[in-house]
Protein backbone atom coordinates (compact mmCIF):
# COMPACT_ATOMS: atom_id res chain seq x y z
CA UNK A 1 0.00 0.00 0.00
CA UNK A 2 1.38 3.42 -0.98
CA UNK A 3 2.25 5.92 1.74
CA UNK A 4 0.16 9.02 2.33
CA UNK A 5 1.55 12.51 1.70
CA UNK A 6 -0.57 15.38 3.03
CA UNK A 7 -0.29 18.88 1.52
CA UNK A 8 -1.72 21.85 3.39
CA UNK A 9 -2.19 25.28 1.78
CA UNK A 10 -4.99 27.84 1.94
CA UNK A 11 -4.71 28.52 -1.81
CA UNK A 12 -6.62 26.01 -3.92
CA UNK A 13 -4.61 26.74 -7.08
CA UNK A 14 -1.38 25.81 -5.29
CA UNK A 15 -2.86 22.50 -4.14
CA UNK A 16 -4.03 21.73 -7.70
CA UNK A 17 -0.52 22.44 -9.03
CA UNK A 18 0.98 20.11 -6.45
CA UNK A 19 -1.55 17.39 -7.23
CA UNK A 20 -0.65 17.57 -10.94
CA UNK A 21 3.04 17.33 -10.07
CA UNK A 22 2.60 14.16 -7.99
CA UNK A 23 -0.34 12.51 -9.74
CA UNK A 24 1.85 9.86 -11.41
CA UNK A 25 3.78 8.97 -8.24
CA UNK A 26 3.16 5.77 -6.29
CA UNK A 27 1.71 7.48 -3.25
CA UNK A 28 -1.63 8.49 -1.76
CA UNK A 29 -2.19 12.24 -2.02
CA UNK A 30 -4.24 14.21 0.48
CA UNK A 31 -4.71 17.98 0.22
CA UNK A 32 -6.55 20.32 2.59
CA UNK A 33 -6.85 24.09 2.87
CA UNK A 34 -6.42 24.62 6.61
CA UNK A 35 -4.73 23.27 9.72
CA UNK A 36 -7.95 22.01 11.31
CA UNK A 37 -8.65 19.74 8.35
CA UNK A 38 -5.05 18.56 8.36
CA UNK A 39 -5.29 17.52 12.01
CA UNK A 40 -8.48 15.62 11.20
CA UNK A 41 -6.70 13.65 8.46
CA UNK A 42 -3.81 12.86 10.81
CA UNK A 43 -6.20 11.53 13.43
CA UNK A 44 -7.92 9.23 10.94
CA UNK A 45 -5.01 7.71 8.97
CA UNK A 46 -1.28 7.19 8.94
CA UNK A 47 0.49 10.05 7.18
CA UNK A 48 4.09 9.51 6.10
CA UNK A 49 4.86 13.11 5.13
CA UNK A 50 3.11 16.43 5.69
CA UNK A 51 4.04 19.48 3.62
CA UNK A 52 2.41 22.60 5.04
CA UNK A 53 2.38 26.24 4.04
CA UNK A 54 3.31 28.52 6.93
CA UNK A 55 1.27 31.72 6.46
CA UNK A 56 -2.35 30.55 6.61
CA UNK A 57 -5.48 32.06 8.21
CA UNK A 58 -6.07 30.73 11.69
CA UNK A 59 -3.36 28.32 12.73
CA UNK A 60 0.03 28.82 11.05
CA UNK A 61 1.91 25.97 9.44
CA UNK A 62 4.57 26.19 12.14
CA UNK A 63 1.98 25.76 14.89
CA UNK A 64 0.31 22.95 12.94
CA UNK A 65 3.56 21.02 12.59
CA UNK A 66 4.24 21.53 16.30
CA UNK A 67 0.98 19.70 17.03
CA UNK A 68 1.80 17.00 14.46
CA UNK A 69 4.91 16.22 16.51
CA UNK A 70 2.68 14.97 19.33
CA UNK A 71 -0.23 13.56 17.32
CA UNK A 72 1.85 11.57 14.81
CA UNK A 73 5.53 11.47 15.88
CA UNK A 74 6.70 9.39 12.93
CA UNK A 75 5.24 11.74 10.31
CA UNK A 76 8.04 13.64 8.54
CA UNK A 77 7.38 17.38 8.53
CA UNK A 78 8.17 19.84 5.72
CA UNK A 79 7.47 23.58 5.96
CA UNK A 80 6.64 25.57 2.84
CA UNK A 81 6.96 29.33 3.10
CA UNK A 82 7.42 32.45 0.99
CA UNK A 83 8.97 34.22 3.96
CA UNK A 84 11.97 32.12 4.85
CA UNK A 85 14.36 33.73 7.31
CA UNK A 86 16.79 32.61 9.97
CA UNK A 87 14.31 33.22 12.79
CA UNK A 88 11.64 31.08 11.15
CA UNK A 89 14.16 28.32 10.44
CA UNK A 90 15.51 28.23 14.00
CA UNK A 91 12.02 28.20 15.50
CA UNK A 92 10.88 25.48 13.12
CA UNK A 93 13.85 23.24 13.86
CA UNK A 94 13.76 23.74 17.63
CA UNK A 95 10.00 23.75 18.12
CA UNK A 96 8.54 21.51 15.46
CA UNK A 97 11.44 19.27 14.35
CA UNK A 98 11.12 20.26 10.69
CA UNK A 99 12.99 17.97 8.30
CA UNK A 100 13.10 20.26 5.25
CA UNK A 101 12.04 23.72 4.04
CA UNK A 102 10.48 24.61 0.69
CA UNK A 103 10.59 28.25 -0.37
CA UNK A 104 7.84 29.60 -2.64
CA UNK A 105 7.87 29.76 -5.58
CA UNK A 106 9.27 26.25 -5.54
CA UNK A 107 11.28 24.37 -8.12
CA UNK A 108 9.36 21.25 -9.17
CA UNK A 109 12.44 19.02 -9.21
CA UNK A 110 13.46 20.23 -5.76
CA UNK A 111 9.99 19.66 -4.33
CA UNK A 112 9.88 16.15 -5.78
CA UNK A 113 13.30 15.39 -4.31
CA UNK A 114 12.31 16.73 -0.87
CA UNK A 115 9.17 14.59 -0.80
CA UNK A 116 11.17 11.51 -1.91
CA UNK A 117 13.79 12.12 0.78
CA UNK A 118 11.07 12.65 3.38
CA UNK A 119 9.45 9.35 2.41
CA UNK A 120 12.83 7.62 2.65
CA UNK A 121 13.30 9.07 6.13
CA UNK A 122 9.83 7.83 7.15
CA UNK A 123 10.62 4.32 5.88
CA UNK A 124 13.89 4.29 7.81
CA UNK A 125 12.14 5.27 11.05
CA UNK A 126 9.53 2.56 10.52
CA UNK A 127 12.21 -0.03 9.80
CA UNK A 128 14.30 0.95 12.81
CA UNK A 129 11.32 0.73 15.12
CA UNK A 130 10.93 -2.94 14.12
CA UNK A 131 14.58 -3.46 14.99
CA UNK A 132 15.23 -7.06 13.88
CA UNK A 133 18.69 -7.92 12.55
CA UNK A 134 17.31 -8.80 9.12
CA UNK A 135 15.45 -5.50 8.97
CA UNK A 136 18.49 -3.47 10.00
CA UNK A 137 20.77 -5.19 7.50
CA UNK A 138 18.22 -4.82 4.73
CA UNK A 139 17.94 -1.14 5.56
CA UNK A 140 21.71 -0.71 5.43
CA UNK A 141 21.82 -2.41 2.03
CA UNK A 142 19.04 -0.14 0.78
CA UNK A 143 20.96 2.95 1.89
CA UNK A 144 24.05 1.68 0.09
CA UNK A 145 22.09 1.65 -3.17
CA UNK A 146 22.36 5.46 -3.16
CA UNK A 147 26.12 5.08 -3.45
CA UNK A 148 27.16 1.98 -5.45
CA UNK A 149 30.79 2.48 -4.40
CA UNK A 150 29.91 1.60 -0.80
CA UNK A 151 28.15 -1.70 -1.53
CA UNK A 152 29.08 -4.16 1.20
CA UNK A 153 30.94 -1.45 3.13
CA UNK A 154 28.68 -1.52 6.21
CA UNK A 155 28.92 -5.29 6.60
CA UNK A 156 32.70 -5.32 6.22
CA UNK A 157 33.11 -2.49 8.72
CA UNK A 158 30.87 -4.44 11.08
CA UNK A 159 33.07 -7.54 10.86
CA UNK A 160 36.23 -5.55 11.59
CA UNK A 161 34.65 -3.59 14.44
CA UNK A 162 33.08 -6.60 16.16
CA UNK A 163 36.40 -8.46 16.05
CA UNK A 164 38.04 -5.46 17.71
CA UNK A 165 35.28 -5.18 20.33
CA UNK A 166 35.61 -8.86 21.22
CA UNK A 167 39.39 -8.55 21.55
CA UNK A 168 38.74 -5.66 23.98
CA UNK A 169 36.54 -7.98 26.04
CA UNK A 170 33.28 -6.12 25.49
CA UNK A 171 30.08 -7.97 26.33
CA UNK A 172 28.38 -9.83 23.50
CA UNK A 173 25.37 -7.50 23.80
CA UNK A 174 27.70 -4.56 23.19
CA UNK A 175 29.20 -6.36 20.20
CA UNK A 176 25.72 -6.82 18.71
CA UNK A 177 25.01 -3.11 19.14
CA UNK A 178 28.35 -2.22 17.55
CA UNK A 179 27.52 -4.44 14.58
CA UNK A 180 24.15 -2.72 14.19
CA UNK A 181 25.78 0.69 14.51
CA UNK A 182 28.26 -0.23 11.78
CA UNK A 183 25.47 -1.34 9.49
CA UNK A 184 23.64 1.95 10.03
CA UNK A 185 26.51 4.40 10.49
CA UNK A 186 25.86 6.08 7.14
CA UNK A 187 22.06 6.04 7.32
CA UNK A 188 22.08 9.86 7.37
CA UNK A 189 23.28 9.78 3.76
CA UNK A 190 19.66 9.20 2.80
CA UNK A 191 19.42 13.00 3.05
CA UNK A 192 22.44 13.68 0.82
CA UNK A 193 21.71 14.07 -2.92
CA UNK A 194 23.10 11.24 -5.03
CA UNK A 195 24.77 13.74 -7.35
CA UNK A 196 26.96 14.72 -4.38
CA UNK A 197 27.57 11.16 -3.14
CA UNK A 198 28.64 10.04 -6.61
CA UNK A 199 30.47 13.21 -7.62
CA UNK A 200 33.69 12.31 -9.42
CA UNK A 201 36.34 14.58 -7.95
CA UNK A 202 36.87 16.77 -4.87
CA UNK A 203 33.73 18.30 -3.39
CA UNK A 204 33.35 22.07 -3.18
CA UNK A 205 32.68 23.77 0.16
CA UNK A 206 28.88 23.67 -0.15
CA UNK A 207 28.84 20.02 -1.22
CA UNK A 208 31.13 19.04 1.65
CA UNK A 209 28.98 21.00 4.13
CA UNK A 210 25.98 18.94 3.00
CA UNK A 211 27.87 15.66 3.40
CA UNK A 212 28.99 16.70 6.90
CA UNK A 213 25.36 16.85 8.01
CA UNK A 214 24.78 13.13 7.56
CA UNK A 215 25.92 11.98 11.05
CA UNK A 216 23.47 14.31 12.81
CA UNK A 217 20.67 13.44 10.40
CA UNK A 218 21.29 9.74 10.91
CA UNK A 219 21.51 10.02 14.69
CA UNK A 220 18.17 11.82 14.83
CA UNK A 221 16.54 9.09 12.76
CA UNK A 222 18.06 6.46 15.07
CA UNK A 223 16.68 8.27 18.13
CA UNK A 224 13.22 8.36 16.57
CA UNK A 225 13.56 4.68 15.78
CA UNK A 226 14.30 3.91 19.44
CA UNK A 227 17.81 2.51 18.93
CA UNK A 228 20.32 2.20 21.75
CA UNK A 229 22.74 4.89 22.90
CA UNK A 230 25.71 2.89 21.63
CA UNK A 231 24.22 2.67 18.12
CA UNK A 232 23.39 6.38 18.15
CA UNK A 233 26.95 7.19 19.29
CA UNK A 234 28.39 5.30 16.33
CA UNK A 235 26.13 7.06 13.84
CA UNK A 236 26.71 10.51 15.33
CA UNK A 237 30.44 10.32 16.05
CA UNK A 238 32.02 8.10 13.38
CA UNK A 239 33.59 11.18 11.74
CA UNK A 240 35.05 12.68 14.91
CA UNK A 241 38.85 12.81 14.94
CA UNK A 242 41.13 11.90 17.84
CA UNK A 243 42.74 15.37 17.67
CA UNK A 244 39.37 17.14 17.95
CA UNK A 245 39.15 18.44 14.39
CA UNK A 246 36.40 16.10 13.19
CA UNK A 247 32.65 16.59 12.97
CA UNK A 248 29.91 17.16 14.01
CA UNK A 249 30.93 18.07 17.60
CA UNK A 250 34.76 18.25 17.42
CA UNK A 251 35.13 15.82 20.31
CA UNK A 252 38.74 15.03 21.22
CA UNK A 253 40.62 11.97 22.47
CA UNK A 254 38.69 9.73 24.82
CA UNK A 255 35.73 12.11 24.81
CA UNK A 256 34.87 10.33 21.57
CA UNK A 257 32.86 7.25 22.63
CA UNK A 258 34.84 4.00 22.48
CA UNK A 259 32.46 2.43 19.97
CA UNK A 260 32.98 5.39 17.61
CA UNK A 261 36.77 5.18 17.97
CA UNK A 262 36.57 1.48 17.07
CA UNK A 263 34.45 1.97 13.97
CA UNK A 264 36.52 4.95 12.79
CA UNK A 265 39.53 2.68 12.24
CA UNK A 266 37.46 0.01 10.49
CA UNK A 267 35.66 2.62 8.40
CA UNK A 268 38.87 4.32 7.23
CA UNK A 269 40.54 1.03 6.33
CA UNK A 270 37.60 -0.28 4.33
CA UNK A 271 37.19 3.09 2.57
CA UNK A 272 40.86 3.05 1.58
CA UNK A 273 40.75 -0.49 0.20
CA UNK A 274 37.62 -0.07 -1.95
CA UNK A 275 36.97 1.93 -5.11
CA UNK A 276 35.46 5.38 -4.63
CA UNK A 277 34.17 7.95 -7.17
CA UNK A 278 37.27 10.09 -6.59
CA UNK A 279 39.97 7.34 -6.56
CA UNK A 280 40.68 3.64 -7.06
CA UNK A 281 41.14 1.22 -4.16
CA UNK A 282 44.55 1.29 -2.52
CA UNK A 283 46.69 -1.85 -2.01
CA UNK A 284 46.30 -3.39 1.44
CA UNK A 285 49.83 -2.61 2.63
CA UNK A 286 49.51 1.02 1.58
CA UNK A 287 46.20 1.31 3.43
CA UNK A 288 47.73 -0.17 6.59
CA UNK A 289 50.57 2.34 6.40
CA UNK A 290 48.07 5.18 6.13
CA UNK A 291 46.38 3.90 9.30
CA UNK A 292 49.76 4.08 11.05
CA UNK A 293 50.24 7.62 9.77
CA UNK A 294 46.83 8.66 11.11
CA UNK A 295 47.56 7.54 14.69
CA UNK A 296 46.97 10.38 17.12
CA UNK A 297 45.49 12.73 14.54
CA UNK A 298 42.45 11.15 12.92
CA UNK A 299 42.48 7.83 14.78
CA UNK A 300 42.93 6.56 18.34
CA UNK A 301 46.47 5.09 18.46
CA UNK A 302 45.37 2.20 20.67
CA UNK A 303 42.56 1.27 18.28
CA UNK A 304 44.93 1.40 15.30
CA UNK A 305 47.38 -0.90 17.10
CA UNK A 306 44.53 -3.26 17.91
CA UNK A 307 43.40 -3.33 14.28
CA UNK A 308 46.96 -3.95 13.07
CA UNK A 309 47.37 -6.76 15.59
CA UNK A 310 44.19 -8.43 14.33
CA UNK A 311 44.44 -7.81 10.61
CA UNK A 312 47.89 -6.41 9.82
CA UNK A 313 49.57 -9.75 9.19
CA UNK A 314 46.88 -11.34 7.07
CA UNK A 315 47.72 -12.29 3.47
CA UNK A 316 45.85 -10.89 0.50
Where in the chain are the domains? 4-123, 132-311
The answer to whether residue 148 scores a pLDDT higher than 60 is: no
Task: Tell me the range of 52-61, 118-127, 197-206 where mean pLDDT is highest.
Answer: 52-61
The reported pTM is 0.73
Q: List phi, psi (to 5°) of 51.
A: -115, 110
Give 248 or 145, the one with higher predicted confidence. Answer: 248
What are 7's strand-pairing partners? Answer: 31, 51
Question: Among 189, 212, 213, 295, which one carries the catalytic annotation?
Answer: 189
Give catalytic status of residue 189 as yes or no: yes
* pLDDT tens digits, 278-289: 567 899 999 999
Q: Which residues contact 284 (CB under 8 A, 6 or more apart)?
A: 273, 316
What pLDDT, on the 0 to 100 scale, is given for residue 7? 97
* pLDDT tens digits, 150-176: 567 888 999 999 999 999 999 999 999
What pLDDT, on the 0 to 100 scale, is given for residue 277? 59
Q: How far apart are CA 255 and CA 236, in angstroms?
A: 13
CATH of the domain spanning 132-311, picked from 1.10.3720.10, 1.10.3210.10, 3.40.50.300, 3.30.70.3420? 1.10.3210.10
CATH of the domain spanning 4-123, picked from 3.40.50.2300, 3.40.50.2000, 3.40.720.10, 3.30.930.10? 3.40.50.2300
- pLDDT-derived band at 181 (thresholds 50, 70, 90) equals very high
What pLDDT, on the 0 to 100 scale, is given for residue 9? 96
* pLDDT tens digits, 69-116: 889 988 999 998 876 555 666 566 656 678 888 888 899 998 998 998
* pLDDT tens digits, 12-54: 999 999 999 999 888 999 999 999 999 999 999 999 999 999 8
Amino acid sequence: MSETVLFVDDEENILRSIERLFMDKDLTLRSVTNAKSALSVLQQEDVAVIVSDNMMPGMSGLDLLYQVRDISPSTVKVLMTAYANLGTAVEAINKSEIFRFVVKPWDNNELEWIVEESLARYRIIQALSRGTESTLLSLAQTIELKDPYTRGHCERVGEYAVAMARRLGLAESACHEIRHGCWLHDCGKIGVPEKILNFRGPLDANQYATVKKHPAWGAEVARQGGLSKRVINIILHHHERFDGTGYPLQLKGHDVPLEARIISVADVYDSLTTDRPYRDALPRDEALQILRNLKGSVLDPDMVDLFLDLFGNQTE
